[in-house]
């Protein structure tokens, strides 16, 4: 069930963004995400889902409009403040669609430790947190392995571990089950729902309509021209075939 605590995590007012030399990929975006919500961003490929998630994760800044996070208006210049940026990325964890983009250390243990070491935590604390998150995800046997040699599912778990070890308040996942086998998909869905039950805010993106109702309560649907077409409960959204067709998310043979 959607949790509306009255505490906004993200607030966007008329936000727009363009990559250099290209047309806008986000146009006049307005919505609010409350603490503890499970929200999914949906739309056809190229509609701006990944760009929006990067903006929420603090990897890019809007070129127009107002972006507020944790009740503070965030300006582009704020990302030059190491203290602000470090605190923000501790509170907001982002898992890329392709785990290879996220993994860069020589061992899994180093990968998980990286963010903690940037916080200059005691080594004993770092080791305890690595042990806890490795046990949670069942990757204790991978700690001394090289990330690039792992399977797709193992890489996803390591990417998750490197974020979860920071104990973020918000988890943002771009196409979270992309490239995962069915068993790992089920495991990930259960894990995400357990985090929501623990009070974390979950924001995902997907075009998989079979998945979306399992990981979210609210859907924000994008048009192909990078605007919001609908913002409603997932149960209503996935049943509105005409709306889904209008944004090219399903075809005339769609049934769910």
Please report where in the chains the tokens 């290879």 appear, as a residue.
100
Looking at residue 27, its pLDDT comes to 94
pLDDT of residue 85: 93
Q: 17 with 55: CB under 8 angstroms?
A: yes
pLDDT of residue 5: 54
Contact 169, 92 (CB under 8 A): yes
In sequence order, the 6+-apart residues with CB closer than 8 A to the CB of 79 are: 58, 61, 85
- What does the pLDDT read at residue 2? 45
Tens of pLDDT, residues 198-222: 999 999 998 788 889 999 999 999 9
Residue numbers in the chain where pLDDT is lower than 70? 1-6, 252-256
Of 33, 49, 74, the closest CA to residue 170 belongs to 33
pTM: 0.92
The CATH number that domain 8-246 falls under is 3.40.50.300
Q: What is the pLDDT of residue 119?
A: 86
**113-to-43, 126, 131, 147 alpha-carbon distances in Å:** 35, 7, 10, 13
Q: Spell out where the chain has E strands.
A: 8-18, 24-34, 38-42, 64-69, 72-73, 92-95, 170-174, 201-206, 218-222, 228-233
The reported pLDDT for the residue numbered 255 is: 52
Please, which residues have CB within 8 angstroms of residue 48's CB and are 6 or more apart in sequence? 25, 26, 222, 226
Q: Which of 91, 90, 111, 92 is nearest to 102 (CA)?
A: 111
- The helix (run of H) or strand (run of E) holding residue 143 is none
């Amino acid at each position: 069930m959607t949790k509306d605590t009255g505490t906004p995590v993200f607030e966007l007012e008329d936000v727009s963004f363009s990559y250099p030399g290209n047309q806008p990929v986000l146009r006049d975006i307005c919505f609010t995400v409350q603490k503890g919500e499970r929200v999914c961003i949906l739309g056809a490929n190229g509609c701006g889902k990944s760009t929006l998630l990067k903006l929420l994760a603090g990897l890019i800044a809007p070129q127009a409009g107002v972006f507020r996070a944790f009740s503070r208006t965030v300006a582009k210049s704020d990302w030059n403040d190491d203290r602000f940026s470090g605190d923000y990325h501790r509170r907001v964890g982002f898992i890329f669609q392709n785990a290879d983009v996220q993994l860069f250390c020589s061992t899994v243990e180093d990968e998980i430790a990286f963010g903690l070491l940037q916080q200059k935590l005691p080594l004993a604390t770092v080791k305890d947190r690595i042990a806890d998150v490795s046990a949670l995800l069942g990757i204790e046997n991978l700690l001394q392995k090289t990330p690039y040699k792992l399977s797709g599912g193992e890489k996803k778990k390591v990417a998750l571990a490197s974020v979860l070890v920071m104990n973020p308040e918000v988890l943002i996942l771009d196409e979270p089950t992309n490239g995962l086998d069915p068993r790992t998909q089920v495991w990930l869905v259960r894990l995400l729902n357990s985090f929501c039950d623990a009070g974390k805010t979950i924001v995902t993106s997907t075009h998989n309509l079979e998945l979306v109702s399992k990981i979210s309560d609210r859907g924000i649907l994008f048009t192909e021209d990078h605007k919001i077409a609908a913002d409603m409960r997932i149960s209503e959204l996935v049943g509105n075939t005409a709306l889904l067709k209008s944004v090219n998310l399903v075809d005339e043979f769609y049934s769910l």
